[in-house]
Amino acid sequence: MSAVSDQLATFAILVYLVAMISHAVEYALGNVRAVAARVAPARELVGAGVGAASGTGVGAAGGTDGPAGGDAARAGSISTPLPTRRSRSAGRARLAGRIAAWLTVLAAALHLGALVTRGIAADRMPWGNMYEFVLTVTWIGTAAWLVVLWKRPSLRRLGLFLTLVMVLLLAFAELKLYVPVVPLMPALQSYWFIIHVSTIVFSSGIFLLGVVPAVSFLLRSGYEQGRRSFPYTLARRLPGAADLERLTFALHAFAFPIFTFAVIAGAIWAEAAWGRAWGWDPKETWAFISWVVYAGYLHARATPSVKRNVATWIAVLGFLTVLMNLFGVNFFFTGLHSYAGVE
């Protein structure tokens, strides 16, 4: 089962990569609404321009059956290839986007298969080390994204950045964090392992998804304010800044109470295992820092005097503290939570 899990994880990364490429194709070609918005005014301007140039319109010529009307019809027909090309481009973009979405579903299924077979091979929940933790967090993020995509298809272009994050994190996990399946260490053999770690994993996966629209909002907001330099030009075809900001808030508002419960559950587990609820262990400290930063984001978001850009930067900072807690603490610090499993 361990070998099957490894193969499924590899296939999942490859499918995520192909999905990312498909999203990139859709992003490069533009979307249907953007093209249609350009085509319709073009048709109106062509029709108006022909009428003005001929000195007649439908009313002046008494209809389109006369010579002027015929000229207008013929002139109008000359402009049809451009909208046709744009329509074809829009069709290709829509097809690429749909392929990307279905590939993401396939990748998520392979990803889930890797987790399930890993758990069966280990005879436990697959959360015992950094590799398994990253594997689970990224799947939660993908599953949450598919739910968002199902409810809000107009946000599909965010899939490019979501799949990019998944490819990078999973590739890093496979190359740097991978460890063979091993039994759970005695310190983790408790029912609190499922309660505490499952809620940490779930909230971290939502925070992972939440940082994608957060960064996208900062780029799109700058683009809408007239900034046309890199990296703001990356946001040219993203959804509107207001939609991205609302999604950012919704995801963080959903994840924060779960994360709060996870921290409390960890303290209760620590009391039962070590005889103290809180000892300022490096991982405990950074979990507290993450909690404070995310609480600060929600408070700033609810304060009318705080600009949305400022509040969103706090959310991005919160995810950086999550990354520090996951990678930095495990690599550079030692403590009671040193369960990275990386040599």
Show the low-confidence residues of the chain (pLDDT under 50): 31-80, 342-343
Give the SS3 label for residue 314: helix
Q: What is the structure's pLDDT at 35? A: 39
pLDDT attached to residue 129: 86
Q: What is the pLDDT of residue 271?
A: 83
Alpha-carbon torsion 318, 320, 321, 326, what sign?
A: positive
The pLDDT value given to residue 86: 64
Q: What is the pLDDT of residue 40?
A: 42
Q: Give dist(CA 140, CA 150) in Å, integer.
A: 15
Residue 49 CB neighbour total at 10 angstroms: 14
Please give the pLDDT value at position 28: 86
Whole-number pLDDT of residue 230: 87
DSSP secondary structure letters along 141-203: HHHHHHHHHHH-GGGGGGHHHHHHHHHHHHHHIIIII-----PPPGGG-SHHHHHHHHHHHHH
In this prediction, residue 191 carries a pLDDT of 83
Give the per-residue pLDDT at 332: 73
pLDDT at 72: 44
pLDDT on residue 2 = 85
Q: What is the pLDDT of residue 148?
A: 95
- Longest Cα–Cα distance of the chain, Å, equals 96
pLDDT value of residue 333: 63
